[in-house]
């Protein structure tokens, strides 16, 4: 989620057929976002490697099966994903981390890297650039860095 910006509901709705991964490129097709449109979100190398390892364990399964399963083999739903994100965030010493925090961090990292708002909006599934602008609000660290640039 940190490297794709997907909503928790979008992750929960992914099926095996929604994921395409290779050595040099990969993407997920999101069909369940807000509204009735779908979008394709490219995956970076780190995410592709992790998904390739995971998918190798799922070989031979029907393509319309959910991508992520719980311990008993049931589809992992929104609440299960939220629980796992909170659990592993706590183990990593991160406070107040949620799936939306990961989505927000993804968008902020893109903005900080100089990616245009149009591209960020497309990756997040937003049609209105004003919705995307919330990710451009500078943090205190951003403001301190700006002040440091002048000497």
Residue that has been written with the tokens 């440091």 in this structure = 148
Q: In angstroms, what CA-CA distances link 2 with 20, 52, 99, 137, 144?
A: 18, 17, 8, 19, 25
Mean pLDDT by 10 residues, the chain (151 residues): 96 96 94 74 96 93 93 94 96 95 94 93 92 85 91 74
pLDDT at 35: 56
Q: What is the pLDDT of residue 105?
A: 93
CA pair distance 1, 73, nearest whole angstrom: 21
The encoded tokens of residue 133 equal 């602008």
Distance CA 66, CA 49 (A): 19
The set of long-range contacts for 45-54, using a CB threshold of 8 Å and a minimum separation of 24, is: 46/3, 47/3, 47/4, 48/21, 48/22, 48/23, 51/19, 51/21, 51/26, 52/21
pLDDT the model gives residue 139 = 84
Q: What domains sit in the chain, N to C, each tagged with a CATH number?
A: 8-148 (1.10.443.10)
Looking at residue 142, what is its pLDDT? 86
According to the model, what pLDDT value does residue 34 have? 56
pLDDT for 138: 84
User: Distance (Å, rounded) from C-alpha 26 to C-alpha 48?
Assistant: 6
CA distances (Å), 11 to each of 20, 96, 100, in order? Answer: 15, 20, 12
Tell me how far apart the alpha carbons of residues 42 and 104 are, in angstroms, rounded to a whole number: 17
């Amino acid at each position: 989620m940190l490297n794709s910006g997907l909503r928790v509901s979008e992750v929960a709705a992914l099926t095996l057929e929604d994921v395409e991964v290779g050595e040099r490129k990969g993407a997920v097709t999101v069909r369940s976002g807000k509204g009735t449109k779908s979008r394709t979100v490219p995956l970076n190398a780190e995410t592709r490697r992790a998904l390739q390892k995971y998918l190798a364990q799922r070989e031979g399964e029907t393509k319309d099966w959910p991508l992520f399963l719980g311990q008993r083999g049931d589809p992992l739903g929104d609440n299960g994903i939220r629980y796992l994100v909170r659990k592993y965030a706590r183990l990593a010493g991160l406070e107040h981390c949620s799936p939306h925090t990961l989505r927000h961090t993804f968008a902020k990292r893109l903005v900080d890297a100089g990616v245009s708002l149009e591209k960020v909006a497309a990756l997040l599934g937003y049609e209105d650039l004003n919705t995307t602008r919330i990710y451009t609000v500078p943090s205190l660290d951003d403001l301190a860095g700006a002040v440091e640039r002048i000497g």
